[in-house]
Amino acid sequence: MSAKILDGKWVRDQILAELQPRIERLKTDHRPPGLAVVLVGNDPASEIYVRNKIKTCGQLGIYSEKVAPPDTISTEDLLGIIEGLNQRPEIDGILVQVPLPSQVDKHRVLVGIHPDKDVDGFHPMNIGHLVANSLAARACTPAGIMEMLRRYQIPIAGQKAVVVGRSDIVGKPMALLLLHQHATVTICHSKTANLPEECRRADILVAAMGRAAFITRDFIRPGATVIDVGMNRNPDGKVIGDVDPEAVRELAGAYTPVPGGVGPLTIAMLMSNTVQLAERHLCSA
């Protein structure tokens, strides 16, 4: 039996369609949701990401604003910009695009965003809410993966889940979200002994370490659901995930392709988080 392809565009389109009436209601009752994106410097990949985020806001009727300080900016000046956005009532969410230039203190910048406007869910207070499983914005990529598993009706409770990668953006929040849905979760990383063996135990395997085609057939239990978060470019320019595409097609029960799997979900959940923050701000107004 061939593996089921988990189509991120199908899930994204569902999420965005469901946001539409909520956005219209906010416009009628109050004002459109507002998102500010801070892009420091001219990193080409970051510019593409930001352009796509702004474009999606426009399609949905979300007010968006791009703030583009020079790459020579100091941490203090960037914190000043963020504090200005914190004070503006029409801005519901603030996103600082990473990577930041080396002279900028990334931690201070992320902490500088008010927790109520932290649309990425990276503020320590919101990470605390994630640990406690209380209401707050969740990191967009892991939240999108959870939406995909739910909409494809892939069971999580009682399943063994293995997350390869321990980043603050994907690996750690992914493990916590799976744990909250009653999976038995293992986090693996570069120091894990017998990594293929650990991965082969997984009913749900999430690869998020940024190494092209690192997960080979030795890592995949036949019939497992494999979620590939990786976006790596080969020397020929072709995009490839963290999982060997041939191995996953042959062995998995269900898998996300690269591109077209996890990628489309990240912006969809960014929009969802922005709308959720706007609704909360309206309720507390």
147 and 251, same structural domain?
yes
> In 10 A of CB 217, how many CB atoms?
15
Please give the average per-residue pLDDT across 152-181, as a whole number: 98
Mean pLDDT, all residues of the chain:
96
Q: Which of 203, 241, 243, 208 is nearest to 222 (CA)?
A: 203
The domain that holds 95 is classified in CATH as 3.40.50.10860
User: Which structural domain range is residue 183 located in?
Assistant: 140-262
Residue 192 and residue 230 in one domain: yes
152 found inside a domain: yes
Do residues 36 and 67 lie in contact, with contact meaning Cβ atoms separated by under 8 Å?
yes
Residue 193 forms part of a structural domain: yes
160 with 254, same domain: the answer is yes
- Choosing from 101, 126, 151, the residue where a domain stops is 126
- 118 classed as catalytic: no
Position 258 in a domain: yes
User: What's the pLDDT tens digit per position in 218-269?
Assistant: 999 999 999 999 999 888 888 999 999 999 999 999 999 999 999 999 999 9
**pLDDT recorded at residue 144:** 98
Reported as a single tens digit per residue, the pLDDT across 51-67 is: 999 999 999 999 999 99
* 211 pLDDT higher than 70: yes
Residues 85 and 184 both lie in one domain:
no
141-152 average pLDDT score: 98
235 and 157: one domain? yes
Residues contacting 188, CB < 8 A, separation 6+? 162, 163, 164, 165, 195, 198, 199
**What pTM was estimated for this model as a whole?**
0.96
Q: Are residues 255 and 154 in the same domain?
A: yes
**Among 94, 126, 158, residue at a domain's last position:** 126
Query: Does residue 116 sit in the same domain as residue 177?
Result: no
pLDDT value, residue 236: 87
**152-166 mean pLDDT:** 98
Interval 140-169 mean pLDDT: 98
Q: Which residue matches tokens 């996890």?
A: 262
Has residue 1 got a pLDDT over 80? Answer: no
Is residue 16 included in any domain, yes or no?
A: no
Give pLDDT tens digits for 100-121.
999 999 999 999 999 999 999 9
Calculate mean pLDDT across residues 10-33: 97
Query: Exactly one of 97, 116, 118, 228 is catalytic; which is it?
Result: 97
Report the percentage of the chain scoring pLDDT > 70: 99
Q: Angle CA(219)–CA(224)–CA(215) in degrees, nearest 5?
A: 25
Catalytic-residue membership of 53: yes
Using CA of residue 274, residue 73, residue 170, residue 244, what is the dihedral sign? positive
145 and 258 in a single domain? The answer is: yes
* 172-203 pLDDT, tens digit each: 999 999 999 999 999 999 999 999 999 999 99
Indicate which residue of 92, 116, 120, 242 is catalytic: 120
Q: Is residue 23 part of a domain?
A: no
In a domain, 86, yes or no: yes
Residue 268 lies in a domain: no
Are residues 67 and 150 located together in one domain of the fold? no
- Token output for 13: 């389109």
Q: Return the pLDDT at 233.
A: 87
Is 15 a domain residue?
Answer: no
Is pLDDT above 90 for 73? yes
Distances (CA, A) of 33 to 25, 62, 72, 82, 281: 10, 5, 31, 18, 10
pLDDT of residue 43: 85
Catalytic residue among 53, 116, 172, 244: 53
Same domain, 258 and 155: yes
Do 240 and 154 fall within a single domain? yes
Residues in the chain: 285
What is the count of structural domains for the chain? 2
Q: In terms of domains, do 213 and 146 share one?
A: yes
The stretches of 92-238 forming alpha helices (DSSP H) are: 106-112, 124-132, 140-151, 171-180, 195-200
CATH number of the domain bearing residue 161: 3.40.50.720
Rounded (10°) CA dihedral 158, 164, 169, 173: 20
